[in-house]
Structure 1
Amino acid sequence: MRFVHSSDWQIGKTFNFASDDVLRVLQAERLEVINRLGELARAQGAADILVAGDIYDYETPSDRTLRQPLERMRQFPDLRWHLVPGNHDFLQPNGVWDRVRRSAPPENIHLHLEPKPFAMTPDSSVWLLPSVLNRRHTLNDPTLWMDEAETPEGVMRLGMAHGSVREFGSQPGEQPNLIALDRPVRAGLAYLALGDWHGFNRIGERCAYSGTPEIDGFDKGGDGGGSALIVSIDGPNAVPTITRHRVGRFSWKRVQATLTSRDEIEALENRLRSLDPQNLSSLLVWLDVEGHLTLEDMTLFDEKILTGVEAALCLLRLGKRPELVASEADLSTFGEAGVVSRAAARLQALSATPGPEQQHAMAALQRLAVLWRSERSA
C-alpha cells in the first residue's frame, strides 16, 4: 500500500500582516498546492491521498472558497481523496461539511463524516479508520473508538485523525483533542495519519504529522512545513516507510541585523538578495534591525531595503527597526532658522523620545529631509 499523507490545507486562511495583494497570492497558492499533491501521488504510484483535517480554515467559507479545493481534486479523477474534519472545520449541523455534501462533490472525493471503518481498496484489503471532530475542542480522545473497530481479519488498518499527542495544558487532562501516543499499537494500525501540527513530526514507527503543504508562519519554517508524506507499507504488520517531499512554493525566513553605517546597509541588501536569488518572489522575510542611523543613512535604508528589496520579495515584514539619530550635520541641512528648521528640530526631539509618537516622528523627519533636498535641488 502506498499513499500520500497531507493535512492542514486551511483553505481561505487570512494573514493579517499581509497587504491585499500578498494575501491573494498566499491564498491562491494554498489551492495550487493541491495540484502538486495530485502530481506527487501520480509520480509515486499512490492512488490515495489522506487529508487529516482542517481542509478549510474556518467554519463559514464563501461558496467560492468552499468549492475551490473540490474543483482542484476533481482534476485528478484517477486518485481517491479522503477527507476528515479538523478543529477549524469541525463537523456540525448545517456547517461546512453539510454544505460540501450538498454541493455534489466529485465521486473521487470521500468525505469521512462518521467514525466507522471504510474499505479503501477495491479488494477490501486496506481499511481506513477515520476520526471525526464534532466540535473544535473535546477532552475525549477522538481515536479511542479505533481499538474496538471491527474489520476483516488479515487486512491492513490505517487510522486518520486530527489532534495532539502531547499535553500542553496547565493541568493533566486539559489538552483538547488529545490522542494516545500508543494508539497504533492499541488499535492494530499499520499507520496513523495525523493533522493539527503544521510541521512534519514522526511519532514512533507507525504515526506521523505531515504538516501543512504550504508553510503559513514565520515560526514554522524550520520544522518541516511545506511538505507532504509518501507512506509505503508492505503488509499489515510491516513498518511503514515514510518519505517527505517538498510541495510548498513559499519559504519563510527571519533575519536579524545591526546597522550603524552605509556600508552595513549595503551589506544587508546583498544578504537579503542572496537568500534565494532565483526565487526571491517566493520568499517572505521578517526583518529585525537594531542599531542607530543618521538621517541620511536612514533614508538610504528605506530606499535600499524597505523599497528596493521589498519589491523583490513576496513580503518583507519589518519588526524592529533601527533608531534614528539625527546629527548636527543632518539638522544643518534645513538651515539655521525658519519654520522648516524649527519643525526638523521638533521632530528630532520627538524621535529621540520613547513613546507612541516616536516612530511617526522618525518617519516625518525622514520625509521632510527628502522633500527639502528635492526642493533645494529643483
Structure 2
Amino acid sequence: MKFLHTSDWQVGRTFAFVDDDTLGALQAERLEVIRRIGALARAQGAACVLVAGDIYEHETPANRTLHQPMERMRQFPDIAWHLIPGNHDADTPEGVWARLTREGAVPDNVHVHRTPEPVQIDAAHNAWLLPAILQRRHTLADLSAYMNDAPTPAGALRIGLAHGSVVGFGNAEEDEHNPIALDRAAQAGLDYLALGDWHGFCQIDARTVYAGTPETDRFGTGGAGGGETVAVTLPGPKAVPEIARHRTGKYVWRRFDTTMLTNAQDIAALESRLRGIQPDNPGAVLAWLDVAGRLGVDELAMYENTVLRRLGGALACLRITGAPQLAAVADDLERLGTGAVRVAAQALLAQVQAGGEQADLARDALQRLFVFWQDMQGARA
C-alpha cells in the first residue's frame, strides 16, 4: 500500500513581518500546495493522503477561508483525503469541523475523522486508520493511547494518525501539551504512525514520522525546514515502511548568522550569496539577515542601493536586523561643498568624535545626511 503523509497546512496563517503583497502570495501558496500534493499522489500512485492536523490556522476562519482547502481537494476526486483536527483547528462544538459538517461542505472524497476508532481506508490492502482526535487546543492526556487496544482484523495494516508532541522529543514544556508516547507505534502494533505539529520533517523511529508542513512557514532551526510531503509504502504487515521525501513547497526561507560588512567586497559577496539561494527565481526567497560592521560613505551608499533597494525588490522578503554604521572622517566632508549641509555634517561629526550619550544618535543622523546627499547628487546627474 502507498499513501502520502502531510500536516500543518495552516490555511489562513498571517505573517506580520511582510508587506501586504507578500502576505497575499504566502497565503495563496498555502492553498496551491494542496494542488501539488494531489498531483504528487497521482504521480506516485498513492490512493490516499493522510493529513495529520492543523489544516486551518484558526478555529474560526472567515467563510471563504473555510471552504478554500475543501475545494482544492475536491479537484482530485480519485484521491481519498483523510483529515484529523490539530491544536489550531481542534474539533470544538462551533469550530471548523462542525461548521463544515453543518453546511454539507465536505466533498465525498474527503474524510474528516472526528471519532477515535479504527476505520478501514483501503479494502484491497486491508488497511485501517486509527485517528487520534483533539477536541480542544491543549490536553494533558495522550489521545493516541487508545490505539494499543483498538481492534483490527488479523493481518491488517494498522496506521496511526495523530497531532501532538512525542514525549522526550521536544522540550519539557511542549511535552506537557498533547503528549504522544515515544514508543506508541511499538505499543499499538502500528505499521506507521503519521504525526503532525512539528513543522519540519523528523523521523522519530522506523515507523514514527513527522511530515512537516508542505509549504515552509518560518525562519530558523528547531521546527523549521518543511516544504516537503512524505510518500510512504507499506510492503505488508509488520514490514518496515519505505519513506520518501518530496519537495512540495515553493518558497525558500533562509536565516543567516551575523554578517559583518566592512568594504565593497563584503557587500558584493552578500549580494552573490543571496542571489545564489534560488538563482532562477529569487522572488521565491525569504531571507533574514543580521547586519553589522562599519562602512565608508561610498560603501554605505553601495549597501543602500545594492542590498536595501535591489535585493529588497528581487526577493519575496528581505528582513534585516541591525545595520552597518557610517565610518566617516573629516575628509569626507569635502564632498558636501560649503553650504548648510556641510555645516550640519561638521557639527554631527564633532559630536560623534566627542563620544557621550548622544554619539550614536549623531552617528545615525550623519549617516542619513550622507545617504541623502548621495541620492540628491544621483538625481541631478
Q: For structure 2, which runs of at least 5 residues remain unmatched after alignment?
A: none
SS in 2 for 1:333: helix
1:329 to 2:331 alignment: yes
How far off is 1:23 after superposition? 0.7
Q: Residue by residue, what CA displacement relative to the aligned partner does 1:47-88 show, whole Å, maximum 9, x if unpaired?
A: 110000010111121111111111110000000001111111
Cα distance, 1:169–1:343 mapped onto 2, change above 3 Å = same
Q: For structure 1, which runs of at least 5 residues remain unmatched after alignment?
A: none
1:236 counterpart letter in structure 2: P
Question: What is the rounded CA distance, in whole Å, between the counterparts of 1:72 and 1:153 in structure 2?
Answer: 36
Question: What is the rounded CA distance, in whole Å, between the counterparts of 1:247 and 1:362 in structure 2?
Answer: 47
2:374 counterpart letter in structure 1: V
Deviates more, 1:284-293 or 1:248-257: 248-257
TM-score by length of structure 1 reads: 0.91
Q: Residue by residue, what CA displacement relative to the aligned partner does 1:129-182 show, whole Å, maximum 9, x if unpaired?
A: 1011111111111101111212222211110000111345558x9621110011
1:229 to 2:223 alignment: no
Alpha carbons 1:334, 1:372 under 8 Å: kept: no
Alpha carbons 1:344, 1:368 under 8 Å: kept: no
Question: What is the rounded CA distance, in whole Å, between the counterparts of 1:93 and 1:71 in structure 2?
Answer: 23
Question: What is the rounded CA distance, in whole Å, between the counterparts of 2:347 and 2:217 in structure 1?
Answer: 42
Question: What is the rounded CA distance, in whole Å, between the counterparts of 1:271 and 1:82 in structure 2?
Answer: 41
**Equivalent residue for 1:293, pick from 288, 292, 295:** 295
Deviates more, 1:329-338 or 1:101-110: 329-338
Cα distance, 1:221–1:185 mapped onto 2, change above 3 Å = closer
Alpha carbons 1:199, 1:220 under 8 Å: kept: no
Give the 5 Å matches for 1:168-317. Answer: 168=170, 175-220=176-221, 224-255=225-256, 256-317=258-319
Question: What is the rounded CA distance, in whole Å, between the counterparts of 1:140 and 1:346 in structure 2?
Answer: 67
1:17 counterpart letter in structure 2: F
Cα distance, 1:189–1:222 mapped onto 2, change above 3 Å = closer
Q: Residue by residue, what CA displacement relative to the aligned partner does 1:200-240 show, whole Å, maximum 9, x if unpaired?
A: 11111111000110111111599651111111011121111
Deviates more, 1:223-232 or 1:162-171: 162-171
SS in 2 for 1:192: strand
Question: What is the rounded CA distance, in whole Å, between the counterparts of 1:254 and 1:357 in structure 2?
Answer: 28
Partner of 1:107: 108
Cα distance, 1:193–1:174 mapped onto 2, change above 3 Å = closer
Cα distance, 1:13–1:359 mapped onto 2, change above 3 Å = farther
1:195 counterpart letter in structure 2: G
Partner of 2:117: 116
Partner of 2:70: 70
Question: What is the rounded CA distance, in whole Å, between the counterparts of 2:6 and 2:42 in structure 1?
Answer: 15
1:231 counterpart letter in structure 2: V
Identity of aligned residues (%): 49
Question: What is the rounded CA distance, in whole Å, between the counterparts of 2:234 and 2:359 in structure 1?
Answer: 60
Alpha carbons 2:33, 2:249 under 8 Å: kept: yes
Alpha carbons 2:41, 2:48 under 8 Å: kept: yes
How far off is 1:355 after superposition? 9.1
SS in 1 for 2:116: coil
TM-score by length of structure 2 reads: 0.91
Alpha carbons 1:58, 1:89 under 8 Å: kept: yes
2:272 counterpart letter in structure 1: N
